[in-house]
């Protein structure tokens, strides 16, 4: 893994994670999250707003997925490996945050834990595929990644 390849993957991961999370949390599922967060802090009206820590979390996730996809994805099946690594890391990171919140914060919604963990898994999968597709040399042909 070269520094240039890592930087390219990191930038791609960071942009993808940030865009996907913005569309999911502030767009498609905004009402779902706002309704559940309003219970925890009625003063906010449920809307969590923006925090620089969000970008920090996106950067940490981007660095981790980029590193592990580029270090462990096989040249024989980079997209499949990237998808698997991304999904596993997405699940691990987001489920850790959600389960910890559920355990420590009274009123943290169980449904939100499940939905957000599923989202973390899906977004990790998409980002893992993106890193593998753009940063790992591919064999020729559309379906070459499926074969060992």
How do the domains of the chain map onto residue ranges?
Answer: 3-146
* C-alpha torsion angle, residues 134, 58, 28, 120 (rounded to 10): 80
**Rounded Cα distance, 93 and 76, in Å:** 27
What percent of the chain clears pLDDT 90, i.e. is strictly above it? Answer: 61
Least confident of 6-10, 40-44, 93-97, 100-104: 40-44
Q: How far apart are CA 133 and CA 111, in angstroms?
A: 33
Per the model's pLDDT, the better-predicted residue between 126 and 34 turns out to be 126
Distance (Å, rounded) from C-alpha 136 to C-alpha 148? 16
Please tell me the pTM assigned to this model: 0.85
Q: What is the pLDDT of residue 121?
A: 98
Average pLDDT, the chain: 87
Q: Residue 97 is inside which H or E element, if any?
A: helix 78-104
Model pLDDT, residue 40: 81
> Which tens digit of pLDDT belongs to each residue from 125-143?
999 999 999 888 766 555 5
DSSP run (H or E) holding 148: none
Nearest to 38 by CA among 109, 127, 139, 95: 109
- Please tell me what DSSP assigns to residue 47: -
């Amino acid at each position: 893994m070269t520094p240039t390849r890592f930087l390219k993957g990191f930038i791609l991961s960071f942009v993808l994670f940030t865009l996907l999370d913005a569309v999911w949390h502030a767009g498609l599922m905004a009402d779902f999250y706002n309704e559940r967060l309003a219970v925890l802090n009625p003063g906010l009206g449920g809307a969590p707003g923006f925090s620089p820590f969000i970008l920090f979390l996106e950067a940490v996730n981007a660095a981790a997925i980029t590193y592990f996809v580029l270090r462990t994805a096989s040249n024989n099946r980079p997209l499949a490996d990237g998808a698997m690594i991304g999904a596993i890391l997405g699940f691990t990171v987001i489920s850790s945050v959600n389960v910890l919140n559920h355990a420590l914060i009274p009123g943290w919604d169980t449904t939100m834990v499940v939905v957000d963990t599923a989202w973390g898994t899906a977004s990790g999968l998409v980002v893992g595929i993106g890193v593998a597709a753009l940063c790992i040399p591919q064999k020729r042909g559309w379906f070459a990644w499926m074969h060992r």
